[in-house]
Structures are given as C-alpha cells and as structure tokens.
Amino acid sequence: MLEQTRDVFAHLIQPILFMYLAASYIPSTISLLLSPLQLNILLSPSAFKEIWFARFWSVYGPELQKNTSPAVGPLLQHVHGIVLDIGPGSGEWLPLFPANRISKIYGVEPNKDHHAALRRKIRECGLEGVYEIVPVGIEDLEEGGWIKEGRVDSVVTLFCLCSIPRPREMVARLYGLLGDGGVWVLYEHVRVKEGRWVGWYQSVMNLFWPYFLGGCELRRDTGRWVKEVGPWSQVELVQPANEPEYQVVPHIKGVLVK
C-alpha cells in the first residue's frame, strides 16, 4: 500500500517537476539574448518562448527519444513512400525511420529555432536530399505548394498534436493529404478518460502547462479526433501497457490505415 502511495505521488508531482525543469532554461535564454542585445526577441513573448522552448527541447527531446524508442521504433517501420513528419523538432526520431522504404520526407517545423539542430541530424542520418525542412504550419502545406491532397503515403505525428493550433482542423487537413492506403503513425499524450479523479488534477495542471511547454495542451482528445476524422480501413490505437490509471499524462500509440 505504501509503495503504491509513493508511486501515485510520483506521478502527481511529475508535471510540476517537468514545468520547473522547463522554467530553469529561462535565465540562460535571457543571458543568451543579452549578448548581443536582441531586444526585439526579449520584448516579444511569443518569439522568446520559441527560443526558450527550442533550447529546453534540444536537451529533453533526445531523452524522450531514448526512453520511448522501444515503443516508437516498431511503429515507424510502417512508414513508407512520401512522408509528412509533423513537428520533428531537433530530429531526434530520424534514426528510427526506415530510410530504405522512404522516397521523400517533408519535415513540417515552423519553429525556425529548431532548424539548425534538425539539419545536423539530417546529415548524421544520411538523409540529405531526402529530408526537406518545411518552415510553415500544416495549414500552409497545400497553399504553399509543398504537397497536394491525397499525395502523402505516410503521416508521422510524435508528441506534436498537443501543441498545434486548431488541432481538429489540422487533423482533418492531414487526413486529406493522406492517400488511400496511406498510414498514420501516432504517439501522443491525451486527456484522461472521463470519470477519473486524476482528470480533475490534469485540468488544474493544464492551467499552467501550456505556458511552460511551448503551448502544449494536456487535455486534448487526440485519439478520438483522429479516429473520427474520416473512414479508416484499419485502426490500432492503444494506451501503453505500463501506464497506470493515475497517469497524469497518459498516451496513445498506434497506426491507422486510410
């Protein structure tokens, strides 16, 4: 009983510790922008948060990849053909992509502060000429001529749908870009199921979480939105088996086939 109580407490305190970890990068980010003085960024909350989060994620992203690659790696083996890699950040997942089955990857990353690290990872993985960084959001892919409706073979969303604007609209746009028989590989955190006390706690945490984690939202019903966006020939989405019912940041993972 005591051991379970400790485990529950560890899960409840985890989001607070994670926000504290993110906040610890604020002083060094300010120092970075003071020399040379970059007032245009320091006086712009949105620009500052992008740089702050990019610096934090450049350290934490690889740790996340290391901890979850045993679950994500097998999912990525379904990826093939023309790929939309949504929110690749610093490219921590690229080593797990099956390069021999891919003809083109469009990395949709509007945060330019991630691009330098992403380019380095592209070179390390030998994907130059295959991986192209797209510096716009999902809403601009068609209008910018990057990709046409129904021309994508694979969509990859790993820990990114939590922070995109207008998520239900963007999910619908991605579904439209995916061709018949195309696959959508997904690993995301989602809202706690209704009726659980931890859902109340998750709602409280979500009052603060987006301000510390680059606009990320804890309470998005991503799994339901993706499943209901249109007809699928195959849906395999599950919660990781090692997550207890009191998980404050639960996840779903799996593959959908259009």
Residue 15: its pLDDT value, please? 94
Q: What is d(CA 64, CA 39) in angstroms, rounded to the nearest whole number?
A: 32
Residue 126: its pLDDT value, please? 93
Tokens representing residue 9 in the block: 């407490």
Classify 255 as helix, strand or coil: strand
Tokens representing residue 36 in the block: 């040379």
Q: How is 57-106 classified by DSSP, letter by letter? A: HHHHHHHHHHHHHHHHHHHHTT--EEEEEE--TTTTTGGGS-GGGEEEEE
Phi-psi region of 106 (alpha: psi -120 to 50; beta: other; left: phi over 0): beta
Residue 5: its pLDDT value, please? 80
Q: Sorting pLDDT into bands at 50, 70 and 90, what band is 45?
A: confident
Which CATH number is associated with domain 61-257? 3.40.50.150
Query: For 38-42, 129-133, 192-196, which range has the lowest pLDDT when averaged over its residues?
Result: 38-42
- Please report where in the chains the tokens 């021999």 appear, as a residue: 100
Element (H, E) at 210: helix 209-212
Contacts of 61 (CB under 8 A, 6+ apart): 89, 90, 92
Per-residue pLDDT reduced to its tens digit, 137-188: 898 888 778 888 889 999 999 999 999 989 999 999 999 999 999 999 999 9
Residue 222: its pLDDT value, please? 95
Residue 128: its pLDDT value, please? 93
Judge whether 212 and 25 are in contact, CB under 8 Å.
no
Residue 170: its pLDDT value, please? 94
User: How many CB atoms are located within 10 Å of the residue 237 CB?
Assistant: 19
pTM of the model: 0.90
Per-residue pLDDT reduced to its tens digit, 187-235: 999 999 877 789 999 999 999 999 999 899 999 999 999 999 999 999 9
Q: Stretch 35-64: mean pLDDT, rounded?
A: 83
Q: Is the pLDDT of residue 46 over 90?
A: no
Q: What are phi and psi of 78, to 5 degrees?
A: -85, -10
Q: Is the pLDDT of residue 18 over 90?
A: yes
Q: Where are the alpha helices (DSSP H) in 88-131?
A: 115-124
Residue 155: its pLDDT value, please? 98
Residue 84: its pLDDT value, please? 97
Residue 161: its pLDDT value, please? 94
Residue 47: its pLDDT value, please? 86
